[in-house]
Amino acid sequence: MTYPTFPENCTSMLCKHLTPELFEQLKDKKTANGFTLEKAIKSGIENVDSEIGVYAGDEESYEVFAELFDKVIEEYHQFSSTDVHESNLKAEDLNLRNLDTSYILSTRIRIGRNIKDMPLGASISKEQRDEIEKDVSSVLNGFEGELAGAYHPLLEMSQEVQLQLIEDHFLFKDGDRFLESSGLARHWPHGRGIYHNHDKTFLVWLNEEDQLRIISMQQGGDVVEVFSRLVTAMKEIEAKVPFAYSERLGYISSCPTNLGTAMRASVHIKLPNLANDMEQFKAIADKYYLQIRGTDGEHSQSKGGVFDISNYRRLGITEVEAVQDMIDGVIALVDAEKSLEA
Ligand code: ADP
Ligand code: DAR
């Protein structure tokens, strides 16, 4: 492989940090699973509009290609190579302050998880992925009480049901070009599916970007209830399914943006006045480490002044701090919206 030619307007962290010198240093390295630099950066080369541009193929990728991944991790999470990741799952430590939930349409908190001692999605075999689907769905189908529900493989799902679940914000989309370039969508839709309880307030995606995405969500702004349900589910699953975890990087994920807590706490919030003042909107988002997404999630546009607002950082902060980032940021956004209303 020769050094990739990045377009002049490339703004991804890959373009920024993969210098010709670093490329020469890493290009012939590979992990025990055979994952190479070429595979790690393929998505960022094929999608020049990538924000990040690199994916790991296994936990070892973060060590073998540390000189590249650590630069991305430090810039994205403001997390240095000497920092240590810590966890806090105590809902009572959340401070709602004067959060006005009247602007919040719905609340969703998700975590990513991958199976210990298994390759990540970009380099896993079909057999291994099918084994994960079989084993994890069997654990989930045994849940009782509020978490009780059923697993639905994509292979057995009608197009109509699949599209409705996507439209209702419960299921991941098909055909994500970043996942396709990275190898994360190989053998699609085999091994992929969604578990959800009867009320669709607890859901688990299997084998999309990460091997599990564990989700708690509901209408309205009861952040504490959503967080508490997620923590209960996380502990019940982890009691039966071992997750990939490292002292330095926390929970291991395919994309370096999802390391650590791998938690994205989001609200769908209607801010029609701020929508017309994106400069102020983005200034507040930057100040409170917020990520602004559209109404249909990543790479989508806002519709009707409804935005998906979430914490940006996921590593080097605890789960409580990730949710607190979102709460504090939403309070600031609502204050600004009220000022513009006046
Ligand atoms: P992630 O990768 O964190 O799962 P995405 O941006 O891919 O998130 O969004 C996945 C789905 O979840 C999308 O349909 C999105 O609209 C939906 N979603 C995200 N946050 C919320 C929320 N607070 N309320 C309702 N739906 C949400
Ligand atoms: N689309 C890839 C990943 C960015 C972070 N989002 C994830 N992991 N879903 C990019 O480099 O833009």
- Kindly state the tokens that stand for 91: 């809902």
> 45 falls in which pLDDT band (50, 70, 90)?
very high
Distance CA 117, CA 105 (A): 39
Domains and CATH numbers, the chain: 13-77 (1.10.135.10), 91-341 (3.30.590.10)
pTM over 0.85: yes
CA 178–ligand 1 middle distance (angstroms):
17
Annotated binding residue at 11? no
> 37 falls in which pLDDT band (50, 70, 90)?
very high
Backbone angles phi, psi at 235, to 5 degrees: -70, -35
DSSP state of 318: -
Q: What is the pLDDT of residues 276-298, one digit of tens each?
A: 999 999 999 999 999 999 999 99
Q: What is the pLDDT of residues 174-216, one digit of tens each?
A: 989 999 999 999 999 999 999 999 999 999 999 999 999 999 9
Q: What is the pLDDT of residues 90-147, one digit of tens each?
A: 999 999 999 999 999 999 999 999 999 999 999 999 999 999 999 999 999 999 999 9
Is the confidence at residue 80, as pLDDT, over 90? no
Backbone angles phi, psi at 272, to 5 degrees: -65, -30
Q: Comparing C-alpha atoms, which of 301, 304, 299, 214 is closest to residue 265? A: 214
Question: In which element (H, E) is residue 196 found?
Answer: strand 193-197
> Would you say the CB of residue 225 lies under 6 angstroms from ligand 2?
no
Distance CA 210, CA 59 (A): 12
Catalytic residue set: 110, 209, 213, 255, 257, 264, 293, 298
> What is the predicted pLDDT for the residue at 324?
98
Mean confidence (pLDDT) of the chain: 97
Distance CA 23, CA 17 (A): 10
Is the confidence at residue 84, as pLDDT, over 90? no
CA 65–ligand 1 middle distance (angstroms):
30
> What is the predicted pLDDT for the residue at 211?
98
Residue 158's CB: how many other CB atoms inside 10 A?
A: 8
Residue 119's CB: how many other CB atoms inside 10 A?
A: 25
Does residue 321 sit in helix, strand or coil?
helix
